[in-house]
Amino acid sequence: MDTVSGKCLIKPVLLLLLSVLSVELLNAQEIPPIPIEVTVLNNISFGAFTQAAGAGSVTVTHDGFRSASNIILLTMAGYPYFSGRIEIVGNEGTPVSILPIPPITLTRSGGGGSMILNINQWNVSFPYILLTTPPSASTFYFGGILNVGLPASNPPGSYSGNFVLTFVQNE
């Protein structure tokens, strides 16, 4: 009788052990991190505006609205305004941060003037967790404030400049 009950006990224990081992073997390996890829889709543009006798600012929000302060008058004049737009491709669940962006100097084409641009708003908060899986991208919009000085220091013209957005991929 002992051998019969022993055989019956071995079979369920063996099945239980095999089922535990098979569950462990089915665990998938974590997706290895890939470096994020950032693509600029369009830069921020403040469009056309005029100024009277004083200084002021022009704001373009991350969602594309434009406003002015003090005695700056917004015009269309064939120059569009829009927020900046970028895309980031990376593994779903990857935390991404952006380093602070210092004030950016924009200079007048042909010389004779400069303005200060502050990139100060995004459509998301950072750090941000990527929600897409490659090759799909997460799209981000940014806005800023253009500080316009007195007419003598900011004559009419086209102003441009360069800036760097530095994103940090957190583990």
Residue 146 forms part of a structural domain: yes
**Does residue 56 fall inside a structural domain?**
yes
Position 4 pLDDT exceeds 90: no
Among 141, 157, 111, which Cα is nearest to 44's? 141
Residue type, 65: F
CB 158 within 8 A of CB 150: no
Residue % of the chain over a pLDDT of 90: 68
1 falls within a domain: no
Residue 14 domain flag:
no
Q: What are the tens digits of pLDDT across the range 124-152?
A: 999 999 999 999 999 999 999 999 999 88
Which residues 6+ apart lie within 8 Å of 101 measured at CB? 118, 119, 163, 165
Which H helix or E strand runs over 30?
none
Mean pLDDT lowest among 20-24, 60-64, 77-81, 119-123: 20-24
Quick check: is 70 in a domain?
yes
How big is the chain by its Cα radius of gyration, in Å?
Answer: 29
| Residue 119 covered by a domain | yes
CB 39 within 8 A of CB 137: yes
The answer as to whether 110 is a domain residue is: yes
Our count of domains for the chain comes to 1
> Is 105 inside a domain boundary?
yes
Can you tell me the mean pLDDT for 106-117?
Answer: 93
For the whole model, what pTM was predicted? 0.78
For residue 99, give the 3-state DSSP assignment.
Answer: coil
Q: Which domain holds residue 52?
A: 31-169
Question: What pLDDT score does 18 carry?
Answer: 44
Alpha carbon distance 129, 123 (integer Å) = 13
DSSP string, 49-82: EEEEEEEEEEEE-TTS-EEEEEEEEEE-TT--EE
